[in-house]
A and B are shown apart, each in its own frame.
Chain A
């Protein structure tokens, strides 16, 4: 596998379910990101991890819980979501320290539908 991979690609869940999204990067990068992409809205940065430490939490509700066990893996744990949380969730990574001049490499996303 190369680049940034995300699983699952599609997820349908009820409001009371608990699920997790997984992201893995094979680029040797040290920073990883979660974004939310909704129709007709700009990409919203949710979380940033640099060297496995969370450095940005962009006022995201607590029903979204990120986890970064090492520099190659990033998870987004979901619980008691709302229908408005339905969106495409994109993971990205960038090189050392997550400096904003570095190019971000994106995964294909997980299409989440909350019923």
Chain B
């Protein structure tokens, strides 16, 4: 069965510092991987996704993620965060040919002034 682990429930970071949010998944078959962001009182919004091809994926708002098959990871990074990046970030995995998305428990990013 597939699963997603986001080990960090909360990550505080100062403004303009770099940040990495970790995501590990378990699956014995090929997968699609996603990062979504949820701002307060809003639904989820796609940041980026990996379907195939280049393992480095660039998304919106300056975020990027790297798919590492050997380590079954898909960590999200940003070189310099802003106050406006304060939100909850969700990693998700799906398998081709199914309708099921498996989400992690989320990481709350708090950017400090």
Q: Which residues of A contact B (CB under 8 A)?
A: 4, 31, 40-43, 45, 48, 50, 55-56, 58, 90, 92, 98, 100-101, 103-109
Interface size in chain B (residues, C-beta < 8 A): 27
Q: B20-28, B64-72, B101-109: which one contacts chain A?
A: B101-109
- Are A42 and B4 in contact, CB atoms less than 8 angstroms apart? yes
The 8 Å CB contact of B99, one of A40, A41, A56, A106, is A56
In the bound complex, CA of A109 to CA of B98 (Å): 24
The smallest beta-carbon distance between A87 and chain B, in angstroms, is 14
Interface residues in B64-113 by Cβ distance below 8 A to A read: 90, 92, 94-106
Give me 9 other A-B pairs in contact (C-beta within 8 A), A48-B99, A58-B100, A101-B49 excluded. A40-B9, A43-B90, A56-B100, A98-B99, A100-B32, A100-B101, A101-B32, A107-B43, A108-B41
Q: Which residues of B contact A (CB under 8 A)?
A: 4, 9, 32, 36, 41-46, 49, 51, 90, 92, 94-106
Q: Contacts of A43 on B, CB cut-off 8 Å?
A: 44, 90, 92, 101, 103
